[in-house]
């Protein structure tokens, strides 16, 4: 192939410049640079889209009320709405917990589910204990089993007080086991 055939442009002075090849080279460089930038943007974006699928169910702290409004020494049922995030799914559900404010001010919060087979229980003021209507289990104010088939004490929920508000993290537990195992 002759020098004349390679040249797209023949300036005065006899130098030839392979303009077509240079253009192609710059096109490749531009494409490669765009590809690198594109990958740089796409990878974090892809990661943020995919990562929720691998994220374990996330529980949130929920404000269930003012700590001052809880009567000391008597369990109070507190209803609230809790949000659970599982991958891309977000679900809101109505929950209830039992909160006990002790005379010294500390608070214990119980799951509202009986540890025997999962029924809801209630506090009985006259008997001064929690009673489950399903199979007759009963629990003391500290959650201890007083009677019936319940295999373990009431399950405790994480709780904290911030700015005078009681915050609770709702969780579910397996029923019927001697050990408290979170679902």
Pairing of strands 61-66, 76-86: unpaired
Nearer to ligand FES, 9 or 135 (CB): 135
- Cα–Cα distance between 147 and 139 in angstroms, integer? 7
Compute the least distance from the CB of residue 142 to ligand FES, in Å. Answer: 18
Compute the least distance from the CB of residue 148 to ligand FES, in Å. Answer: 5
Nearer to ligand FES, 82 or 115 (CB): 115
Q: How many CB atoms lie within 10 A of CB 22?
A: 11
Nearer to ligand FES, 70 or 114 (CB): 114
Question: Per CB under 6 A, which of residues 125..144 are in contact with ligand FES?
Answer: 132, 134-137
Question: Could you give the count of Cα atoms lying within 13 Å of 76 in the half-sphere of its Cβ?
Answer: 19
Nearer to ligand FES, 67 or 119 (CB): 119
Specify which residues 124 forms β-bridges with. 129
Question: Per CB under 6 A, which of residues 143..172 are in contact with ligand FES?
Answer: 148-150
Residues 59-98: x where in contact with ligand FES by CB under 6 A, - otherwise, as a string:
----------------------------------------
Helix (H) or strand (E) holding 30: helix 19-50
Tokens for 135, please give them. Answer: 């199979």
Helix (H) or strand (E) holding 91: strand 89-101
User: In this structure, what are the phi and psi dihedrals at residue 47, rounded to the nearest 5 degrees?
Assistant: -60, -45
| 109 touches 156 (CB < 8 A) | yes
Question: Per CB under 6 A, which of residues 106..125 are in contact with ligand FES?
Answer: 114, 116-119
Compute the least distance from the CB of residue 131 to ligand FES, in Å. Answer: 9
The residues binding ligand FES (CB under 6 A) are 114, 116-119, 132, 134-137, 148-150
């Amino acid at each position: 192939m002759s020098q004349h055939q390679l040249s797209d442009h023949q300036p005065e002075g006899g130098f030839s410049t392979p303009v077509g090849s240079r253009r192609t080279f710059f096109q490749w460089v531009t494409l490669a640079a765009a590809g690198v930038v594109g990958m740089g943007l796409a990878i974090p974006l892809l990661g943020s889209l995919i990562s929720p699928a691998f994220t374990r169910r996330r529980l949130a702290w929920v404000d269930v009320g003012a700590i001052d409004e809880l009567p000391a020494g008597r369990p109070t049922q507190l209803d609230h709405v809790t949000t659970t995030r599982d991958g891309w799914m977000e679900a809101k559900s109505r929950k209830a917990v039992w909160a006990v404010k002790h005379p010294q001010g500390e608070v214990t919060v119980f799951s509202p589910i009986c540890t025997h087979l999962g029924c809801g229980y209630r506090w009985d003021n006259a008997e001064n204990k929690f009673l489950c209507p399903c199979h007759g289990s009963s629990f003391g104010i500290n959650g201890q089993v007083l009677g019936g088939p319940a295999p373990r004490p009431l399950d405790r929920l994480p709780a904290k007080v911030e700015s005078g508000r009681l915050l609770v993290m709702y969780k579910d537990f397996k029923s019927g086991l001697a050990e408290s195992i979170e679902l």
